[in-house]
Amino acid sequence: MTFAPGAGQRMRACAAARAVPDKLIVMTWSWRYEDAEGKPVEGPNETFSNQADAESWLGQTWRDLVAAGTAEVVLVEGDRDEYRMSLQGA
């Protein structure tokens, strides 16, 4: 099966809002916080309606996260990991 250019982006956009009878499920974005060994650490329980807002928030708060012991963050959309990023040397 072959998809047209940009089809992956459209599929992801459709997956972000799935219709359920009488309901609309909107996927949210959030951050998971980890220490240098990859173990979970406590962090703010913030959720965002889109990836850009989540990334903007991180850009404003990463220094506080590092000071509190966070070494890496994982951007999560719903129950899917989007990407992992180190805060070390930032």
User: What is the C-alpha separation between 15 and 24, in angstroms, rounded?
Assistant: 11
Beta bridge partners of 83: 75
Give the H or E element holding residue 73. strand 72-77
pLDDT of residue 17: 53
Write the pLDDT tens digit of every residue in 31-48. 999 999 999 999 999 999
Task: Note the pTM of the prediction, 2 decimals.
Answer: 0.71
Q: Which two tokens stand for residue 5?
A: 């250019």
> Where do the structural domains in the chain lie, given as residue ranges?
28-86
CA 30 to chain centre: 5
